[in-house]
Amino acid sequence: MSRIHLLILWALAIIAGVIYFQRKDVPQSINSKTKLETGSDLIAGDLIETIDGLKITDGEQTVTVRKIDGEWSVAEQDDFPANINTVSRTLRALRDVKVAQGVVASPEYFDRFDLNPEDEDEDERPNTITFISGDQDGPTLFIGKTRQSTGGSRNTAGRFVRLSDDDSGVYIVPESFSFLNFDPGSWIEKILTPLEEKALEVEVTAPNDESFNSWKVSRKTVMDDFLVTDLGENEVTKTNETGLLKNSFVRTPFTELVSSADYEERSDKKGIRTVKATDSAGSTFEITITPEKKDEKKDKKDDANTPVPAINYLIAIKVLNGPTKPEPPAEDATVQEKAVFQQRVANLEDLSRSVNRMRRIYEGRYFLVNTASVTPFLKNRGELVKPKEDQKDPVSVTTDPIAVPNPSGSNPLIPGNTPKTPPASIARPMENDPKKPKIEAVTPPIRVPPLPKKANEEKENAPVKPDEEVKPAEAPKPADTPDPAKAPQAEE
């Protein structure tokens, strides 16, 4: 081989090396030399079981969920309880994710996988999940770009990820992490349960609305209907209206957690309704319902087809007192009443803990709910009562006893001892009336000749021949009917 050929080969090798190191493709190795092997867990199981929190970021958005007294809360939402389903799904995905392939890569290549948290382009920085143990931040999982599947398919084949405590390379995992949401408001439990024990007494007032007529309803047990107290003499309760209060605020959804500053700006305090409710455990809650200000940006006169915007309500909840100790049942109480007393005594500690939790969660916060959640409390007293219907005495009809003919007695009121009653007779004109002519119809007798006796006997007793057909006897012919014209006339 000549010297020229060698120079050409060296030049080609140098060019190929330059092109190789300038490529943006993934430098992969079939025989992985990374710390984690194919098929192994990306995150150690014992780490998932012992962590106290997660910090999830996407650019400037951050969600931090952590345990407080054994309950998951969202730090960015003032430690409001987290949705346990969302937290469980995230932890389960981290526990189950497996390594599909290891890729040997040094830190200078991390930006090619969107795994460099200090990349100049913020859009190419990775999402991160930091594991928190106690008050210390643990290892961080960096989630990079999506890996496209081979073979011309547009489907994804997982994500490129790396661990902060693993410098051996990056990994390809089949999990896409598409379920991650970086809005803190989407991680909270959006359910209100202040009246989980169900109310026995509800009172509604309107401190800033003089046109509102306050009302109060109560019932003895949670199985009974609510009845309006202080009813007038001619008023009764519309139980179909008060029945809507039975399940109110047992599990009420809300759409947004509102800060105190937003409440002052968005609330229409003229329409405030104050609800004081006492549940079956003796706990009393004060619930303030304030309408949100109407949207005045759109002039309804200019656009008649624009729908009227829905009015939402801002809710504030305050615990006035916790559960009360139940009173012992009377000596003559039923077995069921005694069992209820024992159950309430046994649950008193748990109920007290639940009420203290409500104080921590609800007080000082405002919740945005839709109209349907508070409609039963917005009604005026006149909508819960109706006039009492006049109760008329039942109409009774009394008839005289009917005498039944009975020949065995004479007392008409004793069965079987009624007097004889002559049969009804038809009134006929007097025969000796001189003013009326006497009419008589005379019909002459009709003579029917009898058949000869001997001929009939012989004919009936005569033997029947085999080939002779038996004919039925002929019916006698009717006698000639006399002509009406020739009938004798009646004498005048």
Residue 211, Cα to own-chain centre: how many angstroms? Answer: 34
pLDDT value at position 224?
Answer: 94
Predicted pLDDT at 83: 96
Alpha helix ranges (H) inside 204-334: 239-242, 260-266
Count of beta carbons in the 10 Å neighbourhood of residue 265: 10
Q: Which pLDDT value is given to residue 14?
A: 73
Q: What confidence score (pLDDT) does residue 26 get?
A: 46
Locate the domains of the chain by residue range. 27-187, 191-296+309-387
Please, are residues 110 and 170 in contact by the beta-carbon 8 Å criterion?
Answer: yes
What span, in angstroms and rounded, lies between the C-alpha atoms of 248 and 313? 15
> HSE of 150 in the Cβ direction (CA atoms, 13 Å)?
0
Q: How far apart are CA 166 and CA 105, in angstroms?
A: 11
Between the CA of residue 329 and those of 326, 344, 483, what are the distances in Å? 9, 12, 107
32, amino acid identity: S
Residue 82's Cβ-side half-sphere holds a number of Cα atoms within 13 Å equal to 27
Listed residue (165, 167, 146) closest to 155, CA to CA: 146
For tokens 């229409």, name the residue.
268
| Cα separations in angstroms, 60 against 51, 143, 223 | 24, 15, 52
Q: What are phi and psi of 20, to 5 degrees?
A: -60, -45
pLDDT at 492: 41
Q: What is the pLDDT along the chain (492 residues), one digit of tens a residue?
A: 667 766 777 677 777 765 655 554 444 444 447 899 999 999 988 899 999 999 999 988 999 999 988 899 999 999 999 999 999 999 999 999 999 999 998 888 899 999 999 998 888 999 999 999 988 899 999 999 998 765 555 555 789 999 999 988 999 999 999 889 999 999 999 999 999 889 999 999 999 999 999 999 999 989 999 999 999 999 999 999 999 999 999 999 999 999 999 999 999 999 999 999 999 999 999 999 999 998 655 445 455 555 556 689 999 999 999 898 888 888 888 888 888 888 888 889 999 999 999 999 999 999 999 999 999 999 999 999 999 887 666 666 666 666 656 555 555 555 555 555 555 555 555 555 555 555 655 666 666 666 555 555 554 555 555 455 445 555 555 555 555 555 555 444
CA–CA separation, 421 and 410 (whole Å): 10
Helix (H) or strand (E) holding 15: helix 3-22
Answer whether 217's CB lies under 8 Å from 202's CB. Answer: yes
Contact 116, 52 (CB under 8 A): no
d(CA 131, CA 270): 48
56: exposed, middle or buried (C-beta count within 10 Å: 0-12, 13-18, 19+)? buried
Q: Is residue 241 a contact partner of residue 379, using CB atoms and an 8 Å limit?
A: yes
Distance of CA 320 to the CA centre of its chain: 30
Closest by CA position to 318, among listed 289, 291, 294: 289
0.85 surpassed by pTM: no
Give me the sign of the Cα torsion angle 376, 381, 382, 388.
positive
Residue 326: what pLDDT? 83
Side-chain half-sphere exposure of 159, counting CA atoms within 13 A = 19
Q: In 113-263, where do the E strands start and end?
A: 127-133, 136-148, 156-163, 170-173, 191-192, 199-205, 215-218, 227-228, 235-237, 252-253, 256-258
pLDDT at 470: 47
